[in-house]
Copies of this chain bind each other. A is one copy, B any other.
Amino acid sequence: MRRFVIIGQRASASPDFSLADLAGSSGRLDVLLRCLRAALLVSHGLRRDTVVYLVLLGGASAPRSLRIDGASARFLRPDERSLALLVQKSLAAPVAGAGFSLVRPGVAVANEGLAAVLADLGPCSPYLLEEHAPDLREAALSLADPVFFLGDHQGLDPASGARLAALGASAIGVGPVSVHADDAITLVVNELDRREAASG
């Protein structure tokens, strides 16, 4: 199973953003939605072996987290508005207790941030996507249970960075140019696809 965790420093943890001005009203949730598409969607389908976590650290309800599981999610479309509507509806669902609660098929919400995600992940091989880090094409990558952590367009907040350092996440980079987070995910996914194909 492949898992991706995208941490949005100001991404809205509450559903009170406008679909007509997503980039302006949601703390740049649009960045995270593009990451979701890059990780989970392929031509005419979903990657059933992939789980995406969005950590939402912005707005009055923060922190909260979403988990979208490619094995059981349904009706995901690649356009940003459709994905924004899915997140908005999921964030509006009542959630109680600790950890992740399922709010629709394949989609769960937690009233916590990175702590809930790390508890949910359990044992795994953690990687942190960073600029200028060792190239993923040359890196040893676990194909069994890799987890890739990414910041948003502003990078990582210091608290999240410290947690991931404590977790022992290996830093990897995707190339010589500083690209959008969703492009970095596309490049990681392609590298994993290639290695899985090569290993039969």
A positions within 8 Å CB-CB of B: 19-23, 30-31, 34, 37-38, 41-44, 77-82, 153, 174-180, 183, 186-187, 189-190, 193-194, 196-197
Q: Which residues of the other chain, B, contact A196 by a CB distance below 8 angstroms? A: 176
The A contact surface, by secondary structure, is helix
* A31–B44 alpha-carbon span in the complex (Å): 12
Q: Which residues of the other chain, B, contact A175 by a CB distance below 8 angstroms? A: 190, 193-194, 197
* A183–B188 alpha-carbon span in the complex (Å): 11
**Residue of A81, A153, A196 contacting most chain B CB atoms (<10 Å):** A81
Q: Which residues of the other chain, B, contact A79 by a CB distance below 8 angstroms? A: 22-23, 30, 80
Closest to A80 in B: B80
A92 to chain B, nearest CB (A): 19
| A178 engages B82 (CB within 8 Å) | no
| B20 engages A20 (CB within 8 Å) | yes
**Residue of A31, A44, A186, A193 contacting most chain B CB atoms (<10 Å):** A186
A177 touching B193 in the complex, CB below 8 Å, given contacts A38-B183, A186-B187, A187-B187 = yes
Q: Which residues of the other chain, B, contact A186 by a CB distance below 8 angstroms? A: 179, 183, 186-187
